[in-house]
Amino acid sequence: MANFLVWVVWCVAAFACLASALAVVSFSNPFYSALSLIGNLASLAVLFLLLSGEFVAAGQVLVYGGAVMVMFLFVIAYLGDRTDESPWSGGPSWQIVGAVLAGGAILAEVCVVVGLKAAGFLSSPHHVTRSFGSPEAIGRLFLTDHLIAFEVTSIVLLVAAVGGVVLGSHARRIEGDART
Amino acid sequence: MHGPDISWYVVLAALLFATGALGVMLRRNPLIILLSVEIMLNSANLLLIAFARLHGQADGQIFAISVMAVAASEVVVGLGLIVAMGRRHVELDVDKLRTLRG
């Protein structure tokens, strides 16, 4: 019974994930695209929970669904309504054909590799304890085995914050020059 | 482990990655290209967490959290560029941004 319920939850989350990803790509209004990306991130968080990644699922909802998407929506609202572009690329049709072929090639490669080589290997996951993926386990790993990754992440975030400030001040100076 | 095994997650991640790649290649609005890049990064995150579960080791989850931080930084810089473009009243179309002169 539990197995059946997990399958139902997985199928609903996977369908929501794919449908919202297609919606992100195909809406012509970026505001609707950003809203459907929130649905994509939420259904991915459900999949993370099924893989017993509780901390990552919570971080996904907080960091992505909260902070990053609010930033996106602010920028889209700031730039205003500019939906005059056609939803799809206006380039030559060989570009569209090439893009679809490339996307299909990625998909086919992964499916062939999984089907031919890795199917037996992938179907026997290790047994994990209940504390797997808990905040305590993740924090312990971050502060013992992966301390360098932790510090490098903080430097990356600092550099990105400085870059955002520099880009913003530069744009403001150019705007002031244009006004005077 | 109840429910679907890891190969289902791998196929789902491949579908998501292909969708995001199509968005990057076909769309011209830089905002939607950034959103499609987020989809691709998230499919990689799904794979990292699926393989962390397969091997029973949480190192993949650490990697996924680092990828999340990198994605947040990328969004900050990308949105900063898009806001700068918007302030200069440049049309938001990557096909028309042929030169990147300051």
pLDDT digits (tens, 9 = 90+) for A6-55: 999 999 999 999 999 999 998 888 889 999 999 999 999 999 999 988 99
Residue B101 belongs to some domain of the structure: no
Q: Give residue B49's domain range.
A: 6-96
Where residue A64 falls among pLDDT bands split at 50, 70, 90? Answer: confident
Q: Is residue B10 part of a domain?
A: yes
Q: How confident is the model at residue A99 (pLDDT cuts 50, 70, 90)?
A: confident
User: What is the structure's pLDDT at A29?
Assistant: 87
pLDDT tops 60 at residue A84: no
Judged against a pLDDT cut of 60, whether residue A86 lies above it is answered with: no
CB contacts < 8 A, A to B, total 258
Report if residue B60 sits inside a domain.
yes
Instruction: With residue A75 as reference, give the H or E element that holds it.
Output: helix A69-79
Number of structural domains found in chain B: 1
Contacts of B19 in chain A (CB under 8 A): 18, 21-22, 25, 103
Phi and psi torsions of B73, nearest 5°: -65, -40
pLDDT, mean of residues A146-154 = 92
- Kindly report the nearest CA distance between residue A177 and chain B, in angstroms: 11
pLDDT tens profile B81-96: 888 888 877 777 777 7
What pLDDT does residue A130 have?
Answer: 78
Domains of chain A (ranges; CATH) run 1-80 (1.20.120.1200)
The complex scores an ipTM of 0.89
The one-letter code for the residue type at B58 is A
Comparing A10 with A180, which gets the higher pLDDT? A10
Residue B1 is assigned to a structural domain of this protein: no
Whether the CB-CB separation of B47 and B14 falls below 8 Å is answered with no
pLDDT at A13: 94
Distance of CA B14 to the CA centre of its chain: 13
pLDDT at B1: 67
Contacts with B57 (C-beta within 8 Å, 6 or more apart), sequence order: none
Q: Is B37 on the interface with A (CB under 8 A)?
A: no
Contacts A68 to B, Cβ<8 Å: 38, 71-72, 75
Do the domain assignments include residue B58?
yes
pLDDT of residue A20: 95
Least confident of A84-88, A153-157, B62-66, B92-96: A84-88
pLDDT (0 to 100) of residue A90: 59
How much is the pLDDT for A119?
Answer: 66
| One pLDDT digit (tens) per residue for chain B, 102 residues | 677 888 889 889 999 999 999 999 888 888 999 999 999 999 999 999 999 988 888 889 999 999 999 999 999 999 988 888 888 777 777 777 766 655
- The CATH number that applies at residue B14 is 1.10.287.3510
Question: Does some domain include residue B37?
Answer: yes
Residue A71's alpha-carbon distances to A65, A166, A178, B38, in angstroms, are 10, 17, 27, 13
Which amino acid, one-letter code, is at B84?
A
Listed in sequence order, the DSSP H helices in chain A are 2-26, 30-50, 54-59, 69-79, 93-113, 119-122, 135-143, 147-179
Residue among A127, A132, A63, A119 at smallest CA distance from B75: A63
Give the model's pLDDT for residue A49. Answer: 92
Q: What is the pLDDT of residues A104-117, one digit of tens each?
A: 998 888 888 877 77
Minimal Cα–Cα distance from A78 to chain B, Å?
8
Q: Count other C-beta atoms under 10 Å from residue A14's C-beta.
A: 22
The DSSP string of B33-63 is HHHHHHHHHHHHHHHHHHHHHHHT-THHHHH
Question: Do the domain assignments include residue B102?
Answer: no
Which amino acid is residue B29, in one-letter code?
A: N
